[in-house]
Amino acid sequence: MNNTWMVLDDVRKRVFYLIVAEKIFSFINMNNSNYDEGRKALDICWESLVDAKITGDDIYLLIDSPVYKDIGEFAQQEENPKKQEIWYIVLDGIAYIAWNLYRERDVKFLPQALESISEDSAFDFIRNLEESGYIKKEDVNNVLEILGDKNTDISKGNIKYMLL
């Protein structure tokens, strides 16, 4: 995992977080009152891979907005601990994407909630995923191996087979 992660470029690292967030989000029932907002947040993150106009600020507002219609709020509102865990994993994935976009644009001062994120955060993220029971270690390693292949088409439409 260490070697594979370190050789991935930033876009492939964001794709990894999105693949995981998509898989975890699949455990949210479509009837959940926050489902549509969660789906929209993930779609904007995918769009950020190809649309340079989408900034770290745009993505950050998906996890912490002034109107309290964000992934962080959904996680806090959730009463079921397992469903709350799902929202927090999705939040971690989106937070990484925001952090990566800020870093890519050399933003010096990050929102406080993102200050603790680093490249090493991926290792904690993966360990927490495995402990959650939602994703197996072998599946994570398989996705990382596929992303490590520079010939792999990582566009949203072509990564569906990677969704653990």
Please state the length of the chain: 164
pTM exceeds cut of 0.75:
yes
d(C-alpha 33, C-alpha 78), whole Å: 11
**Per-residue pLDDT, 5:** 87
DSSP run (H or E) holding 43: helix 35-48
pLDDT-derived band at 152, boundaries 50, 70, 90: confident
Residues above pLDDT 70, as percent of the chain: 95
